[in-house]
Structure 1
Amino acid sequence: MVRPTRDTGVLTDAERVLPTRPRGWSTVVLPPGRAMQPEQWTAHHTVVVRTLLVLLAAVPVYALFRGHDLASAALYTAPPALLALAAWAPSLSRDTRAAAAALGLMTTAAVGVHLSDGATEAHFLFFALLPLAALYAARAPFLLAVVFVAAHHLLLGTLLPHTVFAHGSDVLPMALLHAAFVLVESWACLVAWQHFDDRREHVEALVAERTAALSAQRDEMARLAAVVQTTDDAVVTATPDGRVTTWNPGAERLYGWSADEVLGRHASLLSAGQELPADLTTLPSGTVERRQRRRDGSEFDALVTLSVIRGDDGTPTGVAAITRDITGRKRGEVEARATARQLEQQAGELARMALHDPLTGLANRALMQDRLEHALADRRARRHAVLLLDLDDFKTVNDTAGHEAGDAVLVAVARRLESSVRPADTVARLGGDEFVVLMEDVEGRRDVVTVAERLISALRRPVQWGGERFTVGGSVGMTFTDATDGRGMDDLLRDADLAMYVAKAGGKDRVRVFERGMREEVAAQDELVRDLRAAVGTGELRVLYQPQVDLRSGAVTGVEALARWESASRGLVEPAGFIAVAEATGVIDEIDDWVIGQACAQLRAWDDAGLPPLRVAVNVSPRRLATGDLAVSIAAAARDAGVDPGRLEIEVPEAVAAGPDAAAGIREVRALGVHVAIDDFGTGASSLSRLQDLPLDRLKIDPSAVALLAAGAAAGSVADAVIALGNSLGLQVVAEGVEQPAQLAALRSLGCDAAQGHLFGSPVPAATVERLVRAGHPLPGAAQASSSRSRRRAPSASPASPITTR
């Protein structure tokens, strides 16, 4: 069968001489094989004949072994011997000799079966010899073998069954069975030979294909050689030890050496300042930049492509190098990179300056406006939130520690804000201590409020700068976008700023959401602030005094001063109506200084009137303890009035006293001799260890704890715990808000030192206090027996009375 080789369509020599045979059902059942070349057929036939001769020699030996005489042994040997002679005869055709050899093999097997009296084992000779018949790769030999086996079993098995079948089996089935086995075995042998022959054909086709490929490679090498000779690049080859073996015209032009001058010399003469290894094949293949040297000694930058040349067995036999001068390109690249870096730096700096705050690195107003406009234009998003945050008390940082400290605080605040929002949110600094956060596509109002509270919580942590610690709070105003209101960035920022202003007015450190009614509220708040600032200088503020009573003696030991605002246009304004506004706007500092001055002047007036020495307490703003100027104000007021600062007492809220920033201010005023009381004790979260470290004098029980007291049911109350704590710390305890006799009785039973409240008298002018002290009469219920739980502690050397601005 003739087949073309792969891809080339060229027939092998065997295929040119062998005709193509059609394939049909007979070919599938019994493959015809291929006509072998004479040399191959002779080799196969020799194997068959030699095997036949060996068997022929074994036949007489086996006959004698089975008990036959020489004549019988010769008789049994004669048929296969004649067939062996025919197979060996050169004058006969190949087919005849092959048929004779196949019949000789089968005849020898039949004689062996006959001599063994039909032994089953002897029948295996047929199957052992059939593959030899298949060596001819033709139908005729093994068909003769099959016919012979069938005739042998049918004829001889019928006539002399005991010589064929040892067990008396039926002749026909056994003959057919043997014939089938013979046919199958012969067919398998022929198929195997055919596949072997097809494999040989495939190998021949591969050889032809490889030959064609080698021819193409020769052509390609010729073309490459032409390229090498004409290229401007230097193409050089060298042995592994570095001796130059080829040198193209491009190398001559590049380096300046002719081929006769450089061939056989070491390649190191081309390298400038870079030593080559002893074995050049160890150099890594690929393209590298190297400095090279010309014949005149000048050096240049080159791009060298190295590759290892290998022999057929893969062993390195040399190296090849293609060299190109890149001096001009390198110079251009350096200039281009320098220019690109400069432009990139300038562009980056311009972009940063245009869109980011130079101090904190946050987005600036321009970038915030761009992102907000983009968010508003995206109709797919649901709602957006704008949060405006203004730091509380930031001015104090700049005033006390300088702008460098203020910048450090702003940078720290920026980082905290960024870490407290979602990654997609935008944090911007609008200027000063004002920041804005844009939250796009928010779920609901509660989620945004939670983020705002997280921002405020982050600001409460102190900022460390050098040896200083600064604590700044923040107020947040927020507004939400509405697809129907048409507000732009300026409108949203204005509304958020309005909400933030309201948050500050409400006490700072708070979050407020913009509402449309806030505009009127802020206008009213502004008017209130203006009136309040004017009230400090126009005499609309006045001080009332509420007596304090010693619960053992019943005597008035002091007064608490309460600031009142008698406005010409608003009437009497209670502290709850203006103190928070004063705190938020800073007016509280002026009010504190004014009240301290009034308290000192009143002490001087009472002294001049001949009253017994009294002590006045002043409830100051928490921010005064942090600013560090409270002691200066108290000292100046006492000096102007000519009174001892020790006659004053300041009241500090429990929550403020527990903070780290209040300790320094408390110690400063205490150094003047001013007494210190913790106000509203029992409502905050103070640390006992911190209270022990502070120079305190008294604890004041909050009115809410006093209101829960009843006669006979005081044990285990908050007031009981505060009194016990005061005893353990060596502090006096004063109860505020005493309004019922039962509360007074309970406080006495607990051993409270002093009390104040409407049961003893409402806040009154200074003249009323003077009359009360001069009368010397105890107040209602004050002259009762001492408590059964009275403490074994010496009373204070001088009673005190508090002045409060709240």
Structure 2
Amino acid sequence: MRRRASAEWLLAVPVLTGAAGGVAPTVAAVLLLTTALVTAALMWTRGTRLDPGAPRRGVLRGWRLLAVAVVVGLAGAGVVALVDGRSARSPSDTVGQLASLPSVLLALVALLTLITRSQLRAGGARLLTETALFFSASVVLAQVLVVGPALAGQPLTGPGRLVLELICLLTAGVLSAVLVLVAVSSGARRVTGALLLLAATAWAGARGLAVVGEDLPRSVLPGWVVGAQLAGLVLLCLAALRDPGADAVAPPSRAAVRLSLAGQLLPHLVLVVAVLVYLGVPLTGSRPTPAAGVALLCCLALTAVHRAVAARDESRVGSRLRRSEAYFRSLVRSSSDAVLILDGDLRVSWAAPSLLPPGGAAALTGRPLADVVHPDDAQAVRGWLAADAPTGLRSFRLQDAAGDWRVLEAGVSDLRADDDVQGLVLQCRDVTARLDRELELSSLAYTDPLTGLPNRAAQQTALDALLAGLADPAAEDVALLLVEVHGLAAAGEHAGRDVVDVALVEIARRLRATVRAEDQVARIGAELFSVLAHGTGDEPDRVASRCLSVIDAPVTTEAGIVDLTAVVGLAPLTAGLTVDAAGDRAELAVRDARAAGVGSLRRYRAELTAARDRREQLRLDLVDARERGELGLVWQPIVALADHRVTGVEALLRWQHPLHGDVPPEEFLPLAERAGLLVDLQRWALHSATTAAASLPGHGLELKLGVNVSAEHLAAGTLVGDVASALRASGLSPERLVVEIAESALAGRDATDDVTALRLMGVRLALDDFGSGNSSLRGLGRLPVDIIKLDRALLSRVDRDPYTRAICEAVLSLGAALRVDVVAEGVETASQLGVLQALGCGYAQGFLLARPMGLSALEDLLESHDGLLWPGIVGRVGG
């Protein structure tokens, strides 16, 4: 911020001083002298700060000499103007011109001290010719624009002309020295050189105006001269502030590259200007000086020399490049590892000869690597190379010159940030022969000869390695799955051993295709397979479920269809387990799965035996639970959100077990389904619910009753009769009954007749649990329903997930268009209720409004509050 502030006030100085020069020359002179002193002090201080320890004497001396040059030059001009009453405006003013010589000499010496000898040697002959060309062209311009007009206006002889010629030569030398500084400096210092070049140009322009400005009005010329001098001082200050030092190292920026290029072109541009000016002088009626002609001839000669030197340098660079490339190619050919270079777009820019395909370099160069590797490896290679910083070793297949696929193991060096390479370098090693040998040995010792899967020995080895790796906290979780296949013995008895072998090979193929690439599938027994499944949480459980599904599919053989089943035991692996202990846990789990029945999956845990005993006990107790009075109904109100009036209730089945307490329906209903008891339980719940609902107070409204019906009840073909019987026995109006059925049950053709009959009876039909699974908005218009119930799983995110909110809004809009009521089921928070009300949902039920309650609590709620229910009111009435 301090440097920027300095630059800001410096930029205002030339404007103010130029104005002052045109109004009050004495004031302008004083201001110029003051600014010169300030500028000199700044450069002196800057030179000291660049090297407080004074090891870089060249830099320190250069800036201090520039400071002295400024003070000497402008102070000398001021002294001449104040003492002699002259301003060195006239070319005949030899004293004034002579007073400026010391400052020019000091400036030239100062600039040369800013350049080190090593930098000059590095520039070589090309820098020398460019500098000489620029110097000669500058002399031409000085002769044509300054010396010529000065001699034409007032001929000079003797010391006066000598001083003027000497000043022009020294000025050209100063400009040339600055150009050398720009050319040899590092990228971080070229801006400083450019500012110095502008400062020197401004100073030279001021001197030229002072010499040849006789024809300009005296009220204008001083302002221009002083303004140019002040501009030079400002640029000197900026250069000093921007100078990072001779040893500064910085990556080349675009600005530095442009400055370097401009520095190379500047001598030729100045030459062009000099030639044009020289040729244009006769048009004005003047004649160029002989010195201008000599300097112009020197320029032309130096142009030819510069071209020759540049051609020689280019030839040397090309020769070095060819030698370097030949050296590199020789190293690559003799290396056991082949090199493959990819550009920024992952296209092959160069490949070692040993990697070239049958079509040669043309078939490989310029193409993405993922397009030339084996198709099975393309995706892996593309993902590997697309990473921000690809690392590690990867294997892929590439065709050789004979057209055979070779396996290459490649490591990568990311040199995209390297300006010389700008790509990825792959070091490739052919490992085809090694892999062939390893595969042959492995197939003998670690492969099941029938299925081609790893055998027990391979499984034990892999299991041991995984258990050892689990000691690392960052290791991925792994589970051991034992898949026990049932039905092979029966197939062998009926169709022979060959059919069993075919079935085993097919099962092995299916299992291998079902799991991920890193999951090992092994055959460790006659009817036993194992899977080492990677993944956290319930991912191994999902793998086990897929294994059960693929085995359950029929196997086609020449002898006919073979139906097989399986059970799976799952044992999570933990650090510290031995191979035997892990196998024992998996055996316990598979035994538990076998006891549970065909298609079972069991995960090992400490309470495995207790859990199994509980399920068995519940299944047995459920048979007579209704006769023992353990089954009952609870009621959950459904509220109209417009006036918060209870418009309906849903009857929910509950089981109060004498030993295990309240058994949730999601636990005992599947048991009832597997035991064939579900239809009977729902028939009983239907009769009990309609009888109780017939006597509920409605406060002038027909309170609706919702009863859940399963797909099994609908498929049994007794639903219409059961509903009709319940309505007759209870006296409940059919319009008050709502039968809630899942979408999957309604989609079947077998349900069409029963659903149509129910609706003809006046019973309303509700689509239950919409949004809990593979629900489809497209199918809503085709389903014969009167009510849609949004599932709690969908509503749980409606207040914080825009996507879920959009789905709910779409369902509500579709319901309004189809004249179908929408009930939000499972509303648990006030924010959910607020969002649903804002979306225009008409009805809601859930824990926020009321939890499921007994019949007496429901009657108290309806009587005490005239059928009105607000969030939290159920907490005051109990139940």
The TM-score normalised by the length of structure 2 is: 0.35
Q: Which has the larger radius of gyration?
A: 1
Looking at secondary structure, tell me which structure has more helix per residue. Answer: 2
Q: Which has the higher contact order (CA 8 A, sep 6+)?
A: 1
